[in-house]
Chains A and B, each alone.
Chain A
Amino acid sequence: MKLEMKDQPGQLVAALKPISAVGGNIIAVIHQRETSTAAEALDVQIVLELPEGRLETLLELLREQGVSVVRIGEERLLYKCTLIMIGHLMHTDLSDTVDRIDRTGSAEVTELSLAMPAINAPSSARITIRSTTRTEMKKAIRILRGVAEQKKLLIIEPLEDA
């Protein structure tokens, strides 16, 4: 999620406190100097993770602190992980493989690139999963590993976590 506010004296500190109070996790604070505005009026963006259902409480607390939020950008799926699958992907029902991830509700397959070689030869696919949290990503990858074992697919994971 992304909060945007005007950078007036004291606003940033006032904004950070309520975030931790509602159990949020600050990922980045970005100052952006807009060409149209005066040097002292900076835009501040705060990128954060927030537990489900806490947004209203946070906005209320921010209002109490006198922080004016200009815009809220909500991106649910913050974490991204790209893997490669090799095997008989079509014969083992690729849409079912994708569906098992999507069914979690907290992770979904957002990209799929499929290379199809000769008939009956194993195919290769690149699959991108996005999830709400790191834990949900681990869960999604565990599901994919299980599916791979069942369908005799090879899963190539990235060296580093999401």
Chain B
Amino acid sequence: MMRIALLGFGSVGQGIARAILAKDLNITVTGLADSRSGITDPAGIDLAAALDRKGNGGPCGTPGVSPADVVAKAEYDVLVEVTPTNVETAEPALGHIRGALGRHKHVVTSNKGPIALAYPELRALAEANGVLLKYEATVCGAIPLIHAMQEGLAGNTISRLYGVFNGTCNYILTRMAEDSLTYEQALAEARELGYAEADPTYDVEGIDAAIKLVILANTLLDMQTTLDDVERTGITLLTPDALRLAEDLDCTIRLIGEIVPEAGVLRVSPRIVPKAHPLVVEGTLNAVTVEADLAGELTFIGKGAGSTETASAVIGDLLYIHDRYVQGS
């Protein structure tokens, strides 16, 4: 049995809890915290009860017990850090991850901030403590892109990596192309469906996609980049006319994130793409093409967000650690 401490009990945290309840994953949760409360129990927390409390608008645990308490005091093998991303400082997640690694605990996170801002430091800290740091869920939700590149494509040199990294933008552009909606109309629709935040800046200005590029560049492609190195243009100025002009050529427009390691290029921008291209996916899907010297060209398509889908990536990381490091007790 592998014991985990779960920080963050929003959409992703609840998705993980539901998967653990529904499936025989050999995982028990011994620590749990949201922004308002925390709970620890070495024998295993009653997740169904915690989901109920949360579902009724309450805290998941005891008010006054902080995430830092859970990190420092709970008995666990792996810290699962799934709190929201802070792109400026990566805190408080960064501190919690440092704390767990320092206690010789493995860490699995879906939080882009710490990986984008501090990967070299965190990786060194994990190595020094003989534990693993895994972050599959930070990029493209359910698509096992990082695992594929680290394991399946090990030994390949990547000449180019590009694709659709943001489901919100892809939804908006799909709708603008389909029904000649204006950007504002498509955004309003995305909000109604819960695909866009009240403040959509992070998605529509390409910041989310840019952070994902930084993570891929720094952790898989031997680059040392920051968000400022990404040449970034969002989709807010796109017009239905522009989409129609693309349509005349059997093309459409998608927000494409692109890395060309040798040229040092990191760029997020709307691009004209032939409609028959494998990257032209509909709705909120993500799609990434990798050009590798041995493997050739590969395209991954899947759900880039969602409670269960992101939980899938987190659980994949957890079971990877379980199979290699955690002895059954």
A30 contacts across to B, CB distance below 8 A: none
Is the CB–CB distance between A86 and B269 below 8 Å?
no
Given contacts A159-B162, A159-B271, contact A82 B241 (CB under 8 A): no
Is the CB–CB distance between A124 and B241 below 8 Å?
yes
Is the CB–CB distance between B272 and A156 below 8 Å?
yes
- Comparing A14-22, A32-40, A41-49, A115-123, the segment that makes contact with chain B is A115-123
Query: How many of B's residues come within 8 Å of A, CB to CB?
Result: 23
Q: Determine the distance from Cα of A159 to Cα of B269 in the docked complex, in whole angstroms.
A: 10
Is the CB–CB distance between B279 and A113 below 8 Å?
no
Q: Does B223 contact A (CB under 8 A)?
A: no
Interface residues of A in 131-162 (CB under 8 A from B): 154, 156-159
Q: Does B72 contact A (CB under 8 A)?
A: no
Q: Determine the distance from Cα of A142 to Cα of B79 in the docked complex, in whole angstroms.
A: 47
Given contacts A86-B239, A86-B242, contact A126 B248 (CB under 8 A): yes
Choose among B162, B242, B244 the residue with the greatest number of A CB atoms under 10 Å from its CB.
B242
Q: Determine the distance from Cα of A82 to Cα of B269 in the docked complex, in whole angstroms.
A: 16
Q: Determine the distance from Cα of A140 to Cα of B136 in the docked complex, in whole angstroms.
A: 40
Is the CB–CB distance between A159 and B245 below 8 Å?
no
Q: Does A1 contact B (CB under 8 A)?
A: no
Query: How many of A's residues come within 8 Å of B, CB to CB?
Result: 18
**Closest B residue, CB atoms, query A128:** B249
**Closest A residue, CB atoms, query B274:** A159
Q: Determine the distance from Cα of A86 to Cα of B245 in the docked complex, in whole angstroms.
A: 11
Give per-residue flags for A5-32: 1 if the beta carbon is below 8 A from chain B beta carbons, else 0.
0000000000000000000000000000
Q: Does A69 contact B (CB under 8 A)?
A: no
CB distance from A8 to the nearest CB of B (A): 40
Give per-residue flags for B124-149: 1 if the beta carbon is below 8 A from chain A beta carbons, else 0.
00000000000000000000000000
Q: Does A3 contact B (CB under 8 A)?
A: no
**Closest A residue, CB atoms, query B245:** A126
Q: Does A125 contact B (CB under 8 A)?
A: yes
Q: Does B246 contact A (CB under 8 A)?
A: yes
Give per-residue flags for A71-92: 1 if the beta carbon is below 8 A from chain B beta carbons, else 0.
0000000000011101100000
CB distance from A135 to the nearest CB of B (A): 15
Give per-residue flags for B232-254: 1 if the beta carbon is below 8 A from chain A beta carbons, else 0.
01000111011011101101010
Q: Which of A86, A113, A126, A159 contacts B238 (CB 8 A)?
A: A86
Q: Which of A82, A124, A157, A158 contacts B242 (CB 8 A)?
A: A124
CB distance from B159 to the nearest CB of A (A): 13
Q: Determine the distance from Cα of A115 to Cα of B246 in the docked complex, in whole angstroms.
A: 12
Q: Does B270 contact A (CB under 8 A)?
A: yes
Q: Does B273 contact A (CB under 8 A)?
A: yes
Q: Which of A113, A117, A157, A158 contacts B245 (CB 8 A)?
A: A113
A157 contacts across to B, CB distance below 8 A: 269, 271-272
Between A and B, 11 residue pairs with Cβ closer than 8 Å are A83-B272, A84-B242, A113-B248, A122-B239, A123-B241, A126-B249, A154-B237, A156-B269, A157-B269, A159-B162, A159-B279
Q: Give the 7 A-B CB pairs with smallest separation, nearest first.
A: A115-B241, A124-B241, A126-B245, A124-B242, A158-B272, A159-B271, A159-B273
List residues of A whose CB falls within 8 A of some B CB: 82-84, 86-87, 113, 115, 117, 122-126, 154, 156-159
List residues of B whose CB falls within 8 A of some A CB: 162, 233, 237-239, 241-242, 244-246, 248-249, 251, 253, 256, 269-274, 277, 279
Other A-B pairs, 16, CB within 8 Å; known A157-B271, A158-B272? A82-B272, A84-B272, A115-B239, A115-B241, A117-B239, A117-B241, A123-B241, A124-B239, A126-B245, A154-B237, A156-B253, A156-B270, A158-B251, A159-B256, A159-B272, A159-B277
